[in-house]
């Protein structure tokens, strides 16, 4: 058909931009991960496995496990809070929904740095919760609550909450409420409707939110450095530290490539699982 040439031509622009500035950097990263570090500049062209070999040491083993643990715990906590909260919020009056949407959008846009800083102050002994607890007499010798693993988790949850909540928003707002009413008329006690009908129906959405948050938390940098102790730091902090702090870009690239492969594997597994499920629906 006539007129298909122009759209193709226009398509070259986004395609070119994305290839050049999104795909090419990833490809470069893979290339550089085989380079050698140049103590005076960035790196020298080479083909060595050294950078990858470094990953297989007890140091990186611990870091990896720690990253996985904090990312999965954060993901579970966020979804555990966000799903029921949005379930309640979507049935509130319109202006309250708007209030929440603006609050969530603001938080989603707001810098990690700002959120981390706000919690840092709230956790500090001379202005936040510890001071308040000392003031009302619950805590005799108030000390700062951060840095700590708990403080870091609070930071994770604040950071991820808006994202997950906005993911659940359309699904929950547009759900067919008569399904819950049907469960009631069929004899389900009101307290069980949530577990018997709503949760199973949103299983796919919940799982994908968990995975999204897990992947997202693997890559956070500011929260661990601001609110966590050095022993809570995740792989992202180490990568940044190596690449920028030690100016060892090849090592940073290699570690990133490992994380990239891991992420792609998780996304692939999720897509595969959901596709299989869809197939099951048709037979």
Partner 1 sequence: MATLSLSNIQKSFGTFQALRDVNLDIRSGEFICLLGGSGCGKTTLLRIIAGLEEMTSGNLLLENSDLSSIECHKRNVGMVFQSLALFPHLNVGDNIAYGLEVRGVAKSKRRQKATDLLEVVGLSGLYERKVSALSGGQRQRVAIARALAIEPKLFLMDEPFSALDAGLREHLQIEVKKLQRKLGVTTIFVTHDQHEAMSIADRIVILNEGRIEQAGTPTEVYARPQTRFVADFMGTNNIFSPIFTPGADAMLEDANLGRPSGELGQWSGKHTVAVRPEYLQLKPASADSTGLVGTVDFVRLLGASIETELSVGDRSFVHTMVSDRAPQFAVGDSVEISFDFDHAWVIPS
Partner 2 sequence: MIPIFKRLFVTAIAVGLILPFVIVAGVSINSASNISFPPSELSLKWYTQLLTEPDWLLPIRNSLSIAAVAGFIAVSIALAANYVLWRLKSGFGKLVFGLGLGPFMLPPIIIAMGASVFWAEMGFYGRVEATVISHGVFFVTLPLVILARGFAALSDDVIEASRTMGATPWQTFVKVIFPLVLPYAITGYALVAIISVNEYLISYMVSGFVVETLPIRIFNNVRYGYTPVVASAAMGFALLTIGTLLVLSMFTDLLKLLGASRD
Asked whether 83 and 169 are in contact (CB, 8 A), the reply is no
Name the nearest CA neighbour of 208 among 149, 164, 151, 253: 164
106 binds partner 2 (CB under 8 A): yes
Q: Which residues contact 83 (CB under 8 A, 6 or more apart)?
A: 164, 168, 202, 206, 209
Given phi > 0 = left and psi -120 to 50 = alpha, else beta, which region is 247?
Answer: left
Helices 249-282 & 24-32 angle (0-180, nearest 10) = 130
Q: Which of 208, 220, 210, 206 is nearest to 67 (CA)?
A: 220
Interacting residue with partner 1 among 24, 26, 179, 261 (CB under 8 A)? 179
Give yes or no for residue 84 binding partner 2 (CB under 8 A): yes
Q: How far apart are CA 174 and CA 146, in angstroms?
A: 40
Q: Does 143 bind partner 1 (CB under 8 A)?
A: no
24 lies in the binding site for partner 2 (CB under 8 A): yes
Residue 166 interface partner, choices partner 1, partner 2, none, CB cut-off 5-8 Å depending on type: partner 2
- Shortest Å distance, C-beta 70 to partner 1: 32
Member of 14, 41, 137, 200 binding partner 1 (CB under 8 A): 200
Q: Compute the least distance from the CB of residue 171 to partner 2, in Å.
A: 8
CB-hemisphere CA count at 13 Å for 134? 15
Residue 282 interacting with partner 1 (CB under 8 A): yes
**Minimum gap (Å) between residue 225 Cβ and partner 2:** 8
- Which residue in 46, 48, 53, 102 binds partner 2 (CB under 8 A)? 102
With CB under 5 to 8 Å by kind, the binding choice for 186 among partner 2, partner 1, none is: partner 1
Applying the rule CB under 8 A, the residues between 61 and 80 that interact with partner 2 are none
> For the stretch 213-247, what's the b/e string if a residue is b when 16 or more beta carbons lie within 10 angstroms of its beta carbon?
bbbbbbebbbbbbbbbeeebbbbbbbbeebbeeee
Q: Which is nearer to partner 1, 185 or 231 (CB)?
A: 185
201 touches partner 1 by CB under 8 A: yes
- The reply on whether position 178 binds partner 1 by CB under 8 A is yes
Which residues lie near partner 1 (CB under 8 A)?
176, 178-179, 181-190, 192, 196-197, 200-201, 203, 280-282
């Amino acid at each position: 058909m006539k007129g298909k040439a122009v759209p193709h031509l226009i398509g070259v622009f986004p395609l070119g931009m994305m290839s050049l500035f999104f795909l090419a950097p990833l490809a470069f990263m893979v290339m550089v991960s085989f380079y050698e570090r140049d103590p005076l500049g960035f790196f020298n062209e080479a083909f060595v496995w050294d950078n990858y070999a470094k990953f297989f040491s007890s140091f990186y083993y611990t870091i990896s496990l720690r990253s996985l643990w904090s990312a999965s715990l954060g993901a579970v906590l966020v979804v555990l809070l966000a799903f029921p909260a949005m379930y309640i919020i979507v049935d509130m009056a319109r202006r309250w929904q708007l209030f929440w949407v603006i609050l969530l959008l603001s938080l989603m846009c707001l810098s990690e740095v700002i959120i981390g800083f706000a919690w840092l102050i709230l956790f500090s002994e001379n202005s936040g919760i510890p001071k308040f607890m000392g003031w009302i007499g619950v805590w005799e010798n108030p000390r700062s609550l951060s840095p700590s693993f708990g403080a870091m988790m609070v930071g994770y949850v604040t950071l991820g909450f808006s994202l997950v909540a906005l993911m659940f928003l359309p699904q929950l707002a547009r759900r067919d409420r008569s399904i819950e009413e049907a469960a009631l008329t069929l004899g389900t006690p009101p307290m069980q409707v949530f577990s018997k009908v709503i949760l199973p129906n949103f299983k796919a959405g919940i799982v994908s939110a968990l995975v999204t948050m897990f992947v997202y938390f693997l890559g956070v940098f500011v929260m661990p450095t601001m609110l966590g102790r050095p022993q809570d730091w995740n792989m992202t902090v180490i990568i940044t530290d190596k690449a920028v702090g030690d100016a060892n870009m090849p090592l940073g690239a290699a570690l990133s490539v490992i994380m990239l492969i891991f992420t792609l594997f998780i996304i692939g597994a999720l897509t595969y699982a959901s596709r299989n499920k869809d197939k099951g629906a048709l037979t």
